[in-house]
Amino acid sequence: MTDTDDLVQRHSAALMRSVPTPLAILDRGEGASVWDAEGKRYLDFLAGIAVNSLGHAHPVVVETLATQAAQVVHISNYFASRAQIGAAERLLRLTGAGEDGRVFFCNSGAEAIEAAFKLTRLTGRKRVLTLQSSFHGRTMGSLSLTGKPALREAFEPLIPGVEHIDSSIAALEAAMGPDVAALLLEPIKGEAGVVELPDGYLRRARELTHQHGALLVLDEIQTGAGRTGDWFAYQHEGIVPDAVTLAKGIGAGVPVGALVTFGATSDLLGPGQHGSTFGGNPLATAAVDAVLAEIERAGLVQNAKARGEQLRDGILGLGSPLIGAVRGRGLLLGVALTEPVAAKVSAAALELGLIVNAANDSTIRLAPPLIIGDAEVALFLDLFPRALEAAA
């Protein structure tokens, strides 16, 4: 038995059955590469599901965590740290929430959604609209908002008041009314397979929520922090939401989430109405501040846009009959396959030393680190067609 077989066996004996069997045991990474327990190298085009925005072992992350750990890791919310204040101010600037905005830090995407969900109840209205096939997390609150019946059914009854509507503008117009507390949605549905909203949807959503006095809450946990080629996906549409949930890419691998509110929405949560022991601790917020600063300094938002276009053109240029379309934006791409062989493609890619994700039967999701350059794009365009061929 190899070392890997032994580790996989120990994993399945020790970890909860809800955790999938590991595809590999990974020991270390550098840039867009990771190495497994047997020393095999992979090009990482999943980046921990859109989390490792700076790739692996980025010097800024390594140094920030080491320095902060040597100073103070945790202090409780009775106290504050420079890191926390700096990270909050940076998020307010980058989101455009500015000085009327507020930030609540937590530890994951689901927790950011929970905070947003609680916020909607404080409007005095009970109806919350979300989209069918959306994903907002696995806790009871975030699962209540999630529009995937297969994830929800075993855990019902969930929290009442949530309606999962079709993603068309017509369905939104029909559902919207003066009793709606909030419309909460992903600008691009990541877990659904990188599915974009219809043209003009976000702008219409902004008009209708304004008209009915409802909150527009955007879940940018996957799309935020530069991934789509703008800091946040709503900025492509020229709209301003009432609240944004963030996690994944803002910490570049350090578990952290945030709810950012805009304008009057910032006054909804009052003293004592929400909290988190670890939320906003110096280690996590030092990471957020440094990661966002590095994304800015290195021009990685622009890089995400340019590399995304390069990848899209390259993938379409492969001329494979298995490729139907490329959805998404920037470095969040969904390659729509013409046959339901995504699992075979991702398995073949792994064998070849390329990590991609089968988001569903017929979609390969790509979410590489924002630092990728020509060499990584070229290597991907060499390996990916071979994986397609192996699966055909």
Ligand X SMILES: *Cc1c(COP(=O)(O)O)cnc(C)c1O
147 binds ligand X (CB under 6 A): no
135 is catalytic: yes
Of 67-75, 134-142, 346-354, 376-384: span binding ligand X (CB under 6 A): 134-142
Residue with tokens 């934006």: 329
Residues 280-339 that bind ligand X (CB under 6 A): none
Catalytic residue among 45, 135, 380, 384: 135
Q: How far is it, in rounded angstroms, from Cα 237 to Cα 230?
A: 10
141 binds ligand X (CB under 6 A): no
Q: How far is it, in rounded angstroms, from Cα 101 to Cα 106?
A: 17
Q: How far is it, in rounded angstroms, from Cα 42 to Cα 24?
A: 10
Contact between residue 333 and residue 365 where contact means Cβ atoms under 8 Å apart = yes
Measured from the CB atom, is 43 or 106 closer to ligand X? Answer: 106
List 43, 221, 295, 354, residue binding ligand X (CB under 6 A): 221
User: Among all residues, whose Cβ is closest to ligand X?
Assistant: 109
List 114, 186, 230, 294, residue binding ligand X (CB under 6 A): 186
Residues 222-261 that bind ligand X (CB under 6 A): 222, 247-248
184 binds ligand X (CB under 6 A): no
Measured from the CB atom, is 31 or 251 closer to ligand X? Answer: 251
Min. distance of Cβ 107 from ligand X in angstroms? Answer: 8
Residue 302, judged by CB atoms within 10 A of its CB (0-12, 13-18, 19+), counts as: middle
The maximal CA–CA distance of the chain, rounded, in angstroms, is: 65
248 is catalytic: yes
Of the candidates 325, 350, 368, 296, the one whose C-alpha atom is nearest the C-alpha of residue 56 is: 368
44 is catalytic: no
Measured from the CB atom, is 288 or 387 closer to ligand X? Answer: 288
Number of residues that bind ligand X (CB under 6 A): 15
Measured from the CB atom, is 222 or 360 closer to ligand X? Answer: 222
Catalytic residue among 36, 242, 248, 305: 248
Print the SS3 string covering the chain: CCHHHHHHHHHHHHCCCCCCCCCCCEEEEEECEEEECCCCEEEECCHHHHCCCCCECCHHHHHHHHHHHHHCCCCCCCCCCHHHHHHHHHHHHHHCCHHHCEEEEECCHHHHHHHHHHHHHCCCCCEEEEECCCCCCCCHHHHHHCCCHHHHHHHCCCCCCEEEECCCHHHHHHHCCCCEEEEEECCEECCCCCEECCCCHHHHHHHHHHHHCCEEEEECCCCCCCCCCCCCHHHHHCCCCCEEEECHHHCCCCCCEEEEECHHHHHCCCCCCCCCCCCCCHHHHHHHHHHHHHHHHCCHHHHHHHHHHHHHHHHHHCCCCCEEEEEEECCEEEEEECCCCHHHHHHHHHHHCEECEEEECCEEEECCCCCCCHHHHHHHHHHHHHHHHHHC
Min. distance of Cβ 386 from ligand X in angstroms? Answer: 29
Min. distance of Cβ 41 from ligand X in angstroms? Answer: 27
219 binds ligand X (CB under 6 A): yes
Min. distance of Cβ 67 from ligand X in angstroms? Answer: 25
Catalytic residue among 36, 44, 219, 289: 219
Min. distance of Cβ 249 from ligand X in angstroms? Answer: 10
Measured from the CB atom, is 4 or 132 closer to ligand X? Answer: 132
206 binds ligand X (CB under 6 A): no
262 binds ligand X (CB under 6 A): no
User: x/- string (CB under 6 A) for ligand X, residues 94-133?
Assistant: --------------xxx--x--------------------
Q: How far is it, in rounded angstroms, from Cα 384 to Cα 391?
A: 11
Measured from the CB atom, is 247 or 348 closer to ligand X? Answer: 247
Measured from the CB atom, is 208 or 247 closer to ligand X? Answer: 247
Of 135-143, 199-207, 299-307, 384-392: span binding ligand X (CB under 6 A): 135-143
Measured from the CB atom, is 227 or 312 closer to ligand X? Answer: 227
Min. distance of Cβ 260 from ligand X in angstroms? Answer: 15
Binding positions for ligand X, rule: CB under 6 A: 108-110, 113, 135-137, 186, 190-191, 219, 221-222, 247-248
**Which residues are the active-site residues?**
135, 219, 248
